[in-house]
Amino acid sequence: MRNIVIFGAGKSTAYLLNYFVVHAVDQLLHIQVIDRDFRSIPETIKESKHVTLIKLDIFQIEDVQKYISNSAIVVSMLPARLHIHIAKLCVTHKRHLVTASYISDEMMALDAAVKENGLVFMNEIGLDPGLDHMSAMREIDSIRDNGGKMLLFESFCGGLVAPESDTNLWNYKFTWNPRNVVLAGQGGAAKFIQEGTYKYIPYHKLFRRTEFLQIKDYGSFEAYANRDSLKYRSVYGLDDVLTLYRGTMRRVGFSRAWNLFVQLGLTDDSFQIENSEGMSYRNFLNLFLAYSPTDSVELKLRHYLKIDQDDIVWQKLVELGLFDDFRKIKTQSGTPAQILQEILEASWSLASHDKDMIVMYHKFGYEKDGEKAQLDTSMVVIGENQTYTAMAKTVGLPVAIATLLILNKKITTPGVQLPIHKEVYSKVLEELEDHNILFTTQKTAYMGYNPDNVFG
């Protein structure tokens, strides 16, 4: 029997655990799940004879070391900052490690020791990062192998609500960590390259500079730029590419409305609101508006942000209950961002019957034999319900598949790495197609950078 030890049992683990349970008999697996809270795990998995739930604080070093040393491979689904704690113990006990998170500097510092011990530390193998890397590199390698030269690469991904569960004016519900949504784009200007020129978008302008996209059968979307589109420039071998842009997808109209929160300061996480607990939503909103002995909150807000009363953006604010006196804040001395998150979660959380949707879209521009061409690839995945979400599927299944491939010595290249090599992406993407996670590809005329497709 081969023990797979999994640290973390959050919302992204339903498909991951189910995959291991399905393969437990033919692969001789036993799954040990370590966390302090197992509420997100489906009952069918909790009751499986192939699964053991272990309630444990990961900083109980002796106990954690015991489980790692008795494992065949380790998977960390913990918050990203905690991976390094597990990674160091995996080096000590010579165990492979798989995570879905970005490679931190601390993780990369272990590379020499990981290679020396012949270990595979596979990171960034979830959705984004993960499926974006693998699907992109498959096409980029194919273009190069066939004599093409890359000119343009644009990549977009969004965690959204499925059309049948789209029940609010924002066309959005939380499918991942709400805090990341509220703080998106902060920490520096977005940077990218278009037609050989570096471009920068400061945070206060980010949500007014969106690119419009069309996905067959699913309609129109918009995308705002990720903070650093150039992070993977050298990793992908795209140092000479003319256009490189990565963005986050939303339904059209979301960003214009979200920009109001940015301009008001509601996404600020740098200071606390004193005595916020028990404050009404209306009073909270009024904190960010000028004093007037006569004007209402509504009038001040419309004047400040220049919103017409019949504008759909106004109706989006009303829908959230921002002008209500009876809705009270529960967060004690929270930052504006924390309080905004609380307000949004009250309206945007998935109901038990709701389905989410993951959309990914890539554009590849290249030149071959003196002619320019473009490939467009897209992927859409619809979740089943509040537990078996598309987000959990597209994060958890790549992690699970890679784990078994490493365990069965089908991925062997040692080191701290991400899944950009054919040894990894070809096998993982092939198996994902069996789970209806697949990309459709269409060859189109080369468009280059199209300024008509960008607002602002």
Which amino acid, one-letter code, is at 428? V
Phi, psi for residue 159 in degrees, rounded to 5: -100, 110
Domain ranges of the chain: 2-125, 127-279+329-391+437-456
| Mean pLDDT on 315-339 | 95
The CATH code of domain 127-279+329-391+437-456 reads 3.30.360.10
Kindly report, residue by residue over 391-402, the tens digit of the pLDDT. Answer: 999 999 999 999
Fold agreement between 2-125 and 127-279+329-391+437-456: no
Fold observed for domain 2-125: Rossmann fold (3.40.50)
For residue 54, how many other CB atoms are within 10 A of its CB? 17
Beta bridge partners of 364: 153, 375
Three-state DSSP state, 165: helix
Phi, psi for residue 193 in degrees, rounded to 5: -125, 135
* Contact of 390 with 383, CB cutoff 8 Å: yes
Residue linked to tokens 């008795």:
70
pLDDT number for residue 453: 53
Q: Is the pLDDT of residue 454 over 80?
A: no
Furthest-apart CA pair in the chain: how many Å? 74
pLDDT number for residue 450: 57
| Mean pLDDT on 258-268 | 96
Kindly report, residue by residue over 120-149, the tens digit of the pLDDT. Answer: 999 999 999 999 999 999 999 999 999 999
pLDDT number for residue 455: 38
| Mean pLDDT on 236-249 | 95
pLDDT number for residue 446: 73
Q: Is the pLDDT of residue 451 over 70?
A: no
